[in-house]
Amino acid sequence: MKAKKILALLLVLALCMTAFAACSSGSGSSGTSGSTSTGTTTGETGGETGGETAEPGEAGGETYTFPLAEQVTFTAWHTNPTSDPSLGITTINDIEAVQRLEAKTNVHIEWDVPASGTETDTFNLMITSGEYPDLIFAITSYYKGGVDKAITDGVIIPLNDMIETYAPDYMKLISQNDALKRDCITDGGNYASIAYINTPDQGPWYGLTVRKDWLDKCGLDVPVTYDDWHDMLVAFKEQCGATNPLWLNQYASDMFNIFPAGYGIAALGAGSQNSAFYNVDGTVHYGPIEEGYHDYITMLNQWYSEGLLDPDFYTRATDVFVPDSLSSTGKCGAFADIYTLIDMRPMMSEDTTISTIPVAQPVLKEGDTVHLRQYNWPKGTSDVAISTQCENPELALSWLNLGSIEEYSYLCYWGEEGNEYEIGEDGEPHFTDKVLNNPDINPGDYLTKYFWRAPGMYRWSRELEYAGPLAISAIEDVWLQHSDGAYFMPNITLTDAEGQEFSTKMADILTYVAENTTKFIRGERSLDEWDAFVETVKGMGIDDAIALEQAALDRFNER
């Protein structure tokens, strides 16, 4: 039972990584604070907030010092509901870290958290009503047309005139390099929100794995080239009885185009409308009309005819995980996986002989560099903005700045030093036995009950505390080999009009490309018709869609 709970924790932690990107160059114990440990933030004080008053001159008239002399209340809309009545958690304020943060700041938050699955509808109703809370979390993900439009529409305020004064630690955090700072500014030149910045750097958390026990049985080395992969899959089929030697998703790829990247293109990935777009030195390309895609599909057509692919790949409903019916039963020998699961495979599988290892992406010839993988951009998509109805935005911003101060960041993500974590000889925080080996509560429940994701420094590295040696090798070494992620599209923003035009064109294009990719691989359409396929995609308006992506990329690069 304990193993299952830890596995569930690892799944949650790994999936959270899809929302965040790495950039910080500091270690987990290095400071980024420009403020004192008491949480002093430069700026003027005073004014009303959420119906409560922060007294002018609270900290000598020039700074906010936490805890405030009198409690102040802000309202906040927040996704990701946390509820586990068995742990005493029914609201965000039941989380220990949130209570500790309130005690250290005297700032109370009244949370509005929509039920899971209702986030979009609830958000839209809130915007339509014209009644906004002081703080709006995840606004980038939910505001149609982007945060610049949210500013123009009078929903949130730009932070430009306040951010240097009231969020100096956040500014120091995002100013570590030009790429990160550019990612935190909008096309309109606005600091529209406070983002979550992965601290420290993070390697790829999703990549390829193969069965090491089968490699050993077949006397094979770890595959490097596509030819090596072909020979390995043949051996898995003939010598190990694999009926689905290689798992690919229904789009003949994987969530992040890891497997096809050796052909220098992006494929359909997870099946979103923008999965197949990529960026080569500032120029946008669409993979399925490139020659590399033809070569990739030609290879898969051969492998499919030889029985080396999952014969039902096109029916698979998942983009992230290989189905247990394949991975855990001895049917499949190679698949993409999340790094935290690699060490857990023997505990998860019916086939108790299974032993998987992380492997680098295949290349056409040894020595090639691959330019696409699971890649972490400087900041995640989660953020928090201050609404136009917040009566004391300076104090709200000062409170949000605390997540970029080491003391407060550690409090939210790691707990209390000497209690839940210690700084090790490597200078990094490490959980104590109170978290890892507590007889009264398992680690997953401990994270739910005691820790909270504060904006600013996102301390992702704590999940390494639960990771096995193969997982750490994957994220820190193997999946980085000969792969630089240079072609990945950054967090570009389409305008509302651009987004509507893009979605209209890409809905039909994606359907057509996906259907014909399957037909080409299964031999239902001759590869001699490839040129006609490309011409049809162009006739459906792919060049217009590329132009829209290009315009957005140009704006991003000009920030």
List the structure tokens of 484: 């630089």
Residue pLDDT, tens place only, 220-256: 999 999 999 999 999 999 999 999 999 999 999 999 9
Helical (H) or strand (E) element with 108: strand 107-112
Is the CA virtual torsion 366, 370, 374, 379 positive or negative?
Answer: positive
Same domain? 311 vs 228: yes
pLDDT at position 200: 85
Q: Is residue 10 part of a domain?
A: no
pLDDT exceeds 60 at position 527: yes
pLDDT at position 262: 98
pLDDT at position 319: 64
Cα–Cα distance, 214 to 442 (Å, whole number): 34
Three-state DSSP class for 102?
A: helix
pLDDT exceeds 80 at position 22: no
pLDDT exceeds 80 at position 10: no
Rounded to 5 degrees, φ, ψ at 195 are -95, 170
Residue pLDDT, tens place only, 187-211: 999 999 999 999 988 899 999 999 9
Last-in-domain residue among 441, 458, 475: 458
Same domain? 178 vs 234: no
pTM for this model (two decimals): 0.85
pLDDT at position 202: 87
pLDDT exceeds 70 at position 57: no
pLDDT exceeds 70 at position 553: yes
Same domain? 190 vs 214: no
Residue range 447-469: average pLDDT? Answer: 93
Rounded to 5 degrees, φ, ψ at 513 are -65, -45
Same domain? 287 vs 330: yes
Same domain? 172 vs 273: no
Cα–Cα distance, 291 to 534 (Å, whole number): 10
Rounded to 5 degrees, φ, ψ at 147 are -75, -25
Same domain? 368 vs 405: no
Same domain? 494 vs 366: yes
Same domain? 167 vs 216: no
Residue range 111-133: average pLDDT? Answer: 95
Q: Is residue 7 part of a domain?
A: no
Residue pLDDT, tens place only, 159-180: 999 999 999 999 999 999 888 9
Q: Is residue 15 part of a domain?
A: no
Q: Is residue 549 part of a domain?
A: yes
pLDDT at position 47: 35
Mean pLDDT of the chain: 88
Q: Is residue 401 part of a domain?
A: yes
pLDDT exceeds 90 at position 474: yes
Same domain? 334 vs 355: yes
Find where tokens 């080996």 sit.
437
Confidence band for 27, pLDDT divided at 50, 70 and 90: very low
Residue 445 belongs to domain with CATH number: 3.40.190.10
Cα–Cα distance, 200 to 457 (Å, whole number): 9
3-state secondary structure string across 208-223? EEEEHHHHHHHCCCCC
Residue pLDDT, tens place only, 278-327: 999 999 999 999 999 999 999 999 999 999 999 999 998 766 788 888 98
Cα–Cα distance, 476 to 64 (Å, whole number): 40
Cα–Cα distance, 459 to 173 (Å, whole number): 13
- Core vs surface per residue 435-457: b (16+ CB within 10 A) or e: beeeeebbbbbbbbbbbbbbbbb
Cα–Cα distance, 71 to 265 (Å, whole number): 55
3-state secondary structure string across 463-516? HHHHCCHHHHHHHHCHHHCCECCCCCCCCCCCCHHHHHHHHHHHHHHHHHHHHH
pLDDT at position 293: 98
**Contact present, 159 and 199 (Cβ < 8 Å):** no
Total domain count for the chain?
A: 2
Beta bridge partners of 82: none
Please, is 143 exposed, middle or buried when counting C-beta atoms within 10 Å of its C-beta (0-12, 13-18, 19+)? buried
Cα–Cα distance, 84 to 107 (Å, whole number): 24
Last-in-domain residue among 458, 493, 525: 458
pLDDT exceeds 50 at position 36: no
pLDDT at position 348: 85
Q: Tell me the residue range of the domain where 540 lies.
A: 206-373+485-557
Q: How wide is the angle at C-alpha 395 spanned by C-alphas 392 and 400, nearest 5°?
A: 125
Q: Which residues contact 267 (CB under 8 A, 6 or more apart)?
A: 251, 252, 253, 257, 260, 275, 276, 287, 288, 293, 296
Is the CA virtual torsion 212, 216, 217, 220 positive or negative?
Answer: positive
